[in-house]
Chain A
Amino acid sequence: MVRHLYVHLPFCASRCGYCGFVVEVGALDRRDAYLDAVRVELGAERACLGALETVYLGGGTPTLMRPHRIATLLEDVAPHLAPGAEVSMEANPETVDRAAWDRYRAAGITRVSIGAQSFQPELLAVLDRRATADQVRRAVACAQEAGFASVSIDLLFGVPGQTAAQLAADIAEVAALGVDHVSWYELEIKPDTALERMGVPLPDEDWGADAYETIVAELERHGYRWYETANFARPGHECRHSLAYWEARDYLGLGVGAVSTIDGVRWRNRSALGGYLGDMASRGRPGRTEEALEDAVRRRERWMLGLRLDRPLDTVWAGPPDHPDALARLADGGLLEVSGSRVVLTRRGRFVQNAVLHQLMEFV
């Protein structure tokens, strides 16, 4: 039985220059139809739902669904929720105010993740973000006032043109806002994004390493735990839904382009809005592409995901690495620690976890 539910809400006012997700721009008139379709899909999958420990509404811009649609959706979800369930929603700062936060909270949202990306106007412009730094600050403050159990913000580093001073300013903003949780990603230039087409160069490894090390050190200094590669939390505010992914648990994903993994099978719903709506209208279930996960693949994914965390990976659960002899070598080199059946990356190892992973596992 699945205990983790993801719902994809794809609508956006515009596409950001770095965005490679499944989003729909200029289709706001289809929100009601989409809501209905997702509810139908939820109904169709009811049989596999256990007591849901976490729900995550991601996008797109979920807040463009407006509180009344979110409330309708969560009415359908509510009967499946376990006591104390975490119900997260992503939010864009320019789409919320205090009143909206109150209504989201009333609808059952317990945790919000606000997409700030930066507080520097120059960098927000490079990223095509619509919100201003002031709007970000206000959205965070209002969310805190509204009394969500956790308020998180998303930031990016490695934005083309970003200086060390700008990074320090962003860190200071985060610390001043006193949010409960921070996700701080390095910008990736994904295929088919505006940044890729512009051929923007990314900063070199040393700049990126300096920035990353600074972020980790500063956030730790401000009381955040670096509990996952790109995520930081004050005690008790880790994102339980994300942890489910990193612990390789089963999850159900609803909506256009959403991915599910249940009992060794992963599937992705078709990613075109029109096609998804058409499928739901005609057959009551969306077209999907399925991928059966072989044991070896699941083992490699457990290592790929598990080493992202600051807590040890239990190799009895995960299965052995493809190159067991690499463990001792990496331990000698100060990149990981082995204790019985448990493996955890050292601080230095976490910064180069991808390279460490390639030493341990054979991704074929």
Chain B
Amino acid sequence: MQQDLIRNFCIIAHIDHGKSTLADRILQLTGAVTDRDMREQILDSMDLERERGITIKAQAVRVFYTAADGVTYQLNLIDTPGHVDFSYEVSRSLAACEGALLVVDASQGIEAQTLANTYLAIEGDLDLIPVLNKIDLPAADPELHGGAVAELIGVDPASVLRISAKTGEGVAEVLEAIVARIPAPSGDPDAPVRALIFDSVYDQYRGVVAFVRVIDGEFTKGDRLVAMQTGREVATEEVGVMTPTMLPTGRLAAGESGYLVTGLKSVGDLKVGDTLTLARKPAAEALAGYREVKPMVFCGLFPLDADDYPDLRDALEKLSLNDASLQWEPETSQALGFGFRCGFLGLLHMDIVRERLEREYDLELLATTPNVEYHLTTTSGEELSVRSPVDLPPPTNTESIREPYVRCTILVPTDGVGAVMQLCQERRGQYVTMMPIEQRQQIIYDLPLAEIVTDFYDQLKSRTRGYASLDYEIAGYRESPLVKLDILLAGDPIDALSMIVHKDLAYGRGKALVERLRETIPRQLFEVPIQAAIGGRIIARETIKARRKDVLAKCYGGDISRKRKLLERQKEGKKRMKQVGSIEVPQEAFLSVLTLGSSSDGNGTKK
């Protein structure tokens, strides 16, 4: 197809602002999907995504649209993920497009994420079409929010489309606007091939499937391609487009988006952001790639049943086939046995991986408290990266420790400013700036990432009655006075409960943690002291009481099997506990530290 009849676009929206519904409506309206086949939110194809209402994997769908001018256009909708953990995937999607729909909920207005992604799109030189969605809602305020959106991207408020993706109202106008306002691709169809890999998935029958946007030239099935950064040869076993099901076309040309079956075995073999070119006639220069994605959050994953260790490894291997950002390496814990230290993009990514391991691979897992990667310099001048508190060398050998900071953008109604600032201060935040947006305030803080991987987001939501929205970007490493806080049960340090904390917060955290553990760990057969220590000095202590009564009241002839089965069920229940020495520790205990922030300020404390 001629390039001037092609439009590549994506949708930028906050979670729940209606991106998926709008995408579905576009597919329906262009006949890509019949009404009968219409499943709610087709693009979110994984169950987990649909359940959580989020999109993880970017995909490209091609539809044909006959516009009011009577001409039929090829529209390529590149899907974007909507959560902060996956913001790097947004920049990939943006790079494959010439324009974007900026979808904002007409009752909620702009959220922090929308803002961040909008800036990314503007930086990427995309043409933006502002769309107010959900105008059918009683709470919709299109005047106010439409004005703010127009101001944000510097356009006439009259150009803001007002639609309801749910009812379909205004969606036709969106399609017209895509054709009219988004520029056609302008690559050189005759130049050597350059195709941007913006995503890849692993399919168990076909191997790695790459999603590409062709900028220059064209390639056909059977061509040998080369990934320009890695030099890896890539087969083209099949070439096609998503309609949204895979439709082989045999070729992809400049301006088009589609997929190719590569014959590779793991998504790790193919770098997203790399440029594909023809092996026999390579391009001189690669396209600008993306910044490399690195895991930011780490935790240990241990099978509750030690026998499941090989199964956990297999499951991680399988997940990695499709998730190049998931990192893992074997880890041995004295308390928890054999497991893996895993690296994730963020907390949501961690949750999703855990849930998939438990749900799809039927594993029962224990996850340790998440932490970040610390950089440190030893007294001998050696540079170390530490991803687990256990690996932190003693203070006497440490010259300096640096921790990752993030720049947080928080949007909150004016009456929530105080609460947000208080929270940020409690979490060692450094104030950067604040400015009004619509009727809200945009607050910017630099915060240690370690402080937000625990319950920061939950606290932010609860302290602002759900009104605050958050986005963050990595802001480099800064030196901090950090110490390792050890937890001892019955006098033995439990490695899986160690944490790295700011020295000024260590006492409060230690005290709160032992209190929380006393509440979480049930009574044991013997009394168990719980202690918090820094470098051998005990800073807090609590005691788990010994059990006083645990009997099966009545046991007669008719009951013997029943009582035995009751004991078997109790044993089954104990499997949710981890045996640490002779102490039974419930899984929640290993996550106690996650909710510490809420107890230290006396707000939202459990029990």
Contact = CB atoms under 8 A, between A and B. Distances in A.
6 A-B pairs closest in CB distance: A209-B548, A209-B549, A363-B567, A354-B550, A259-B558, A186-B553
Interface stretch (A40-48, A118-126, A276-284, A296-304): A296-304
Contacts of B428: none
A305 interface: yes
A213 B567 CA distance: 23
Given A253-B558, A259-B558, A301-B564, A359 B553 contact: no
Contacts of B571: 358, 362-364
Main secondary structure of the interface of B (DSSP, over half): loop
Given A205-B523, A297-B564, A363-B567, A230 B554 contact: yes
A229 interface: yes
B548 A185 contact: no
Interface residues of A, number: 51
Contacts of B582: 329, 359
B570 A245 contact: no
A352 to B, nearest CB: 5
Contact of A186 (B523, B525, B551, B564): B551
A223 interface: no
Interface string B531-554: 000000000000000011111111
Contact of A305 (B550, B553, B555): B555
A230 B582 CA distance: 28
A6 B556 CA distance: 11
A14 to B, nearest CB: 21
Contacts of A213: 548
Interface residue tally of chain B, by bracket? 20 to 34
A352 B567 contact: no
Contacts of A305: 555, 560
Interface string B559-585: 011011001101100100000001000
B545 to A, nearest CB: 9
B557 A253 contact: yes
B526 interface: yes
A30 to B, nearest CB: 21
A188 B557 contact: no
Interface in B239-267: none
A261 interface: yes
A301 B560 contact: yes
A353 B550 contact: yes
A363 B565 CA distance: 8
A148 interface: no
A364 B568 contact: yes
Interface of A: 6, 8, 58, 185-188, 205-206, 208-209, 212-213, 229-230, 242, 245-246, 251, 253, 257-259, 261, 266, 268, 291, 297, 300-301, 304-305, 308, 329-330, 333, 335, 350-359, 361-364
A358 B574 contact: yes
A351 B549 contact: yes
Nearest to B558: A259
B555 A308 contact: yes
Contacts of A301: 560, 564
B567 A357 contact: yes
A349 to B, nearest CB: 9
B224 to A, nearest CB: 57
B564 A363 contact: yes
Interface string B569-603: 01100100000001000000000000000000000
Given A351-B551, A352-B551, A355-B525, 20 more contacts: A6-B558, A185-B553, A188-B553, A205-B548, A209-B548, A212-B549, A212-B551, A229-B555, A230-B554, A258-B558, A259-B561, A261-B560, A268-B558, A330-B525, A351-B548, A352-B548, A354-B550, A355-B547, A361-B567, A364-B568
A248 to B, nearest CB: 8
A323 to B, nearest CB: 11
B549 A358 contact: no
Contacts of B567: 300, 304, 354, 357-358, 361, 363
Contact of A352 (B549, B558, B570): B549
Q: Which of B549, B555, B561 is packed against the most chain A CB atoms within 10 Å?
A: B549
A251 B563 contact: no
Contacts of B555: 229, 245-246, 304-305, 308
Contact of A185 (B550, B554, B561): B554
A245 B552 contact: no
B549 A266 contact: no
